[in-house]
Chains A and B, each alone.
Chain A
Amino acid sequence: MSDMTYTSGGEPPLRFPKTVLFKVGGATFGMVDALLEFLRVLRGTIRFSIWGKRPKGEVLNQMYQVGNRSLLFVCVTLGCLGMVLVYQILLQVNRITGDTSQVGAEFIKGMVHAFVPSLTAMMIATRVGAGIAAEIGSMMVTEQVDALRMCGVEPIEYLIAPRFIATLTMTVILTVIALAVAVGAGSLMAWGSFGVNPAVFLSFDKVTPGDMITGITKAVVFGAAIPVVSGYCGLTTRGGSEGVGSATTRAVINSSLAVIVLDFILSALAYFFLQSKGL
Chain B
Amino acid sequence: MLVDIANLHVAFPTPSGPAMAVRGVSLRLGQEKLGIVGESGSGKSLTARAVLKLLPGQASVTADRLSFDGIDVLTASESTMRKIRGRRAGLVLQDPKYSLNPIMTAGDQVAEAWRAHKGGSRKQARAAAVDLLAQVLIRNPADVANQYPHELSGGMGQRVMIAIMLAPDPELLIADEPTSALDATVQAEILRLIDDLVARRGMGLLLISHDLPLVGHFCDRVAVMYAGRIVEEVGAGELARARHPYTQGLLRCMPSLAHPQATLPTLVRDPSWAA
A and B assemble together: no
Interface of A toward B, CB cutoff 8 Å: none
